[in-house]
Amino acid sequence: MLEHLSEQPKDKILALMAAYREDPRDTKVDLGVGVYKDASGNTPVMRAVKEAERRLVKEQTSKAYTGLAGDPAFSNAMIDLVLDDTVARNRIAAVATPGGTGAIRQALELIKLAAPKATVWLSDPTWPNHPSILKYLGMKTRSYRYFNNETRSVDYIGMLTDLAAVMPGDIVLLHGCCHNPTGANLTLPQWDGLIKLLQERSVTPFIDIAYQGFGDGLEKDAAATRKVAAAFDNVLIAASCSKNFGIYRERTGVLMAIAKNESVRDVAQQNLAFLNRQNFSFPPDHGARIVTTILTDPELRADWEAELEEVRLSMLDLRTQLAGELRRLSNSDRFDFLAEHRGMFSRLGTSPEKVEKLRADHGIYMVGDSRMNIAGLNADTIPVLAQAIIDAGI
Ligand SMILES: Cc1ncc(COP(=O)(O)O)c(C=O)c1O
């Protein structure tokens, strides 16, 4: 049987990580993989996470199964964090999932059950796992323009023009904040315009929010998601706890499905639990319990928020420094977009050949589409990257 298998396409980011590890140059810089790193290159366990784990070890008396939807306290805490009180609770179905990816996967499976003919619209570019999972599930997809390679900002006109072609019942996948891979985001007035168009076209928005707290702060990063949640009868929201709690390997996420009313919510809730049962039965619990402990304990929560804010500001600082250095070296403002972008990534907007040149000549590793992880930089490597960008003629 196994001899009938063919090779799967290699994950480009994982291949890049392997190439980086094998590079003997001690001046090499890793701007590839999407994890937060501090100035010394570590991905630390957050203080509040350590404390929540200590409490769990001490106080947890059983590891028996939870419910198929996970612990409701986790879903409630996450609904609070993402939506606050924008939507009545009796309209929101929610399940814990293995990470944000698990939430996206379950959302797409729910769409398959509820609207098998719908097309799912993706931003071009988007996180590569979006099209990859959709393809694997055999679902129809189309893309809408998102990024202007000249201005390195959102191609808003292109986006609205392409989305004018959606059919009623289609699904439009949107990044709630900190767009991956570009770092370019809609302004709130632009979100209003987009919402109006999507309402006129009777589509269901599907928000992927994986970086709440990494852009402009916990509340501001949730603002667009809340606007969308308040404006439609049906909204799907996949939220990841991997980045903002730094618990990547615990696989912690939540899928929320906002329904028109309580009775539709109840059926949606039952379907979400069913899908969990079919795919992995009970969702992972450890990370979810860490998150619940932090979000429901005022002291731990304050400490988590403070550390998350430090992380956010450190990335903003790196952005400002890099843009400043490039302004100096290029004697122009053409790299100022780096300071405007938000989240962990920025798309430099250059060719794969120039990205390869940065790797070959300078040991600078970024994804082929010129996405760089800003958190991979530090005060020493910023001048190196800036000079390399100029030398490569970008
Ligand atoms: C846009 C986006 N969505 C979802 C995820 C999922 O994250 P995880 O499954 O690790 O929680 C990521 C992670 O890189 C992401 O960048």
Are residues 336 and 284 part of one domain? no
Residue 121's pLDDT is: 98
Active site (annotated) includes residue 127: yes
CB of residue 253 inside a 6 A radius of ligand 1: yes
pLDDT in tens, 165-179: 999 999 999 999 999
Residue 124, exposed/middle/buried by CB under 10 A (0-12, 13-18, 19+)? Answer: middle
pLDDT in tens, 369-390: 999 999 999 999 999 999 999 9
Asked if 119 and 141 count as a contact pair (C-beta separation under 8 A), the reply is yes
| Number of domains composing the chain | 2
Are residues 320 and 264 part of one domain? no
Q: What is the CATH number of the domain that holds 118?
A: 3.40.640.10
Asked if 279 and 109 count as a contact pair (C-beta separation under 8 A), the reply is yes
- Long-range contacts (CB closer than 8 Å, 24 or more residues apart) made by 190-197: 190/154, 190/156, 191/224, 191/227, 191/228, 192/227, 193/156, 193/160, 194/159, 194/160, 194/163, 195/227, 195/228, 195/231, 197/160, 197/163, 197/164
- End residue of a domain, out of 296, 329, 344: 296
Residue 175 lies in a domain: yes
Residue 59 lies in a domain: no
Candidates 380, 347, 11, 388; CA nearest to 184 is 347
Are residues 187 and 39 part of one domain? no
Active site (annotated) includes residue 135: no
Q: Give me the average pLDDT of each 10-residue run along the chain (394 residues).
A: 93 86 93 91 96 97 96 98 98 98 98 97 97 97 96 97 97 98 98 98 97 98 98 98 98 98 98 98 98 98 98 97 97 96 96 94 93 94 95 92
Pocket probe mutation, ligand 1, options 33, 35, 101, max atoms within 8 Å of Cβ: 101
Are residues 254 and 118 part of one domain? yes
Residue 233 lies in a domain: yes
Looking at ligand 1, which atom is closest to the CA of residue 248?
Answer: 10
Residue 310's φ and ψ, nearest 5 degrees, are -60, -45
Helix (H, G, I), strand (E, B) or coil at 43: coil
Residue 271 lies in a domain: yes
Residue 249's pLDDT is: 98
C-alpha 125 – ligand 1 centre gap (Å): 15
Residue 367 lies in a domain: yes
Asked if 228 and 218 count as a contact pair (C-beta separation under 8 A), the reply is no
- Long-range contacts (CB closer than 8 Å, 24 or more residues apart) made by 271-276: 271/110, 271/113, 271/114, 272/69, 272/93, 272/94, 272/95, 272/106, 272/110, 273/67, 273/68, 273/69, 273/95, 274/68, 275/95, 275/106, 275/109, 275/110, 275/113, 276/68, 276/69, 276/95, 276/97, 276/106
C-alpha 298 – ligand 1 centre gap (Å): 27
C-alpha 263 – ligand 1 centre gap (Å): 31
CB of residue 191 inside a 6 A radius of ligand 1: no
**Which residue in 52, 93, 103, 210 is the catalytic one?**
210
CA-to-CA separations, 109 to 126, 134, 160, 173, in angstroms, rounded: 19, 10, 27, 14
**Which residue in 37, 48, 121, 127 is the catalytic one?**
127
Pocket probe mutation, ligand 1, options 17, 123, 127, 133, max atoms within 8 Å of Cβ: 127
Candidates 177, 100, 183; CA nearest to 366 is 183
Residues 6+ apart with CB under 8 A from 26: none
C-alpha 19 – ligand 1 centre gap (Å): 22
- End residue of a domain, out of 296, 312, 338: 296
Are residues 239 and 104 part of one domain? yes
Are residues 123 and 147 part of one domain? yes
Residue 16 lies in a domain: yes
Are residues 307 and 264 part of one domain? no
pLDDT in tens, 262-273: 999 999 999 999
Asked if 197 and 160 count as a contact pair (C-beta separation under 8 A), the reply is yes
Residue 55 lies in a domain: no
Q: Give the sign of the dihedral formed by CA 371, CA 375, CA 380, CA 386.
A: positive
Are residues 360 and 316 part of one domain? yes
Which structure tokens are listed for 151? 């201005």
Are residues 108 and 25 part of one domain? no
Are residues 308 and 205 part of one domain? no
Residue 357 lies in a domain: yes
Helix (H, G, I), strand (E, B) or coil at 374: helix
Q: What is the CATH number of the domain that holds 380?
A: 3.90.1150.10
Domain enclosing residue 166, as ranges = 65-296
Q: Which residue has the tokens 């964090």?
A: 81
Are residues 164 and 225 part of one domain? yes
Residue 12's pLDDT is: 81
- End residue of a domain, out of 281, 296, 311: 296
Are residues 375 and 255 part of one domain? no
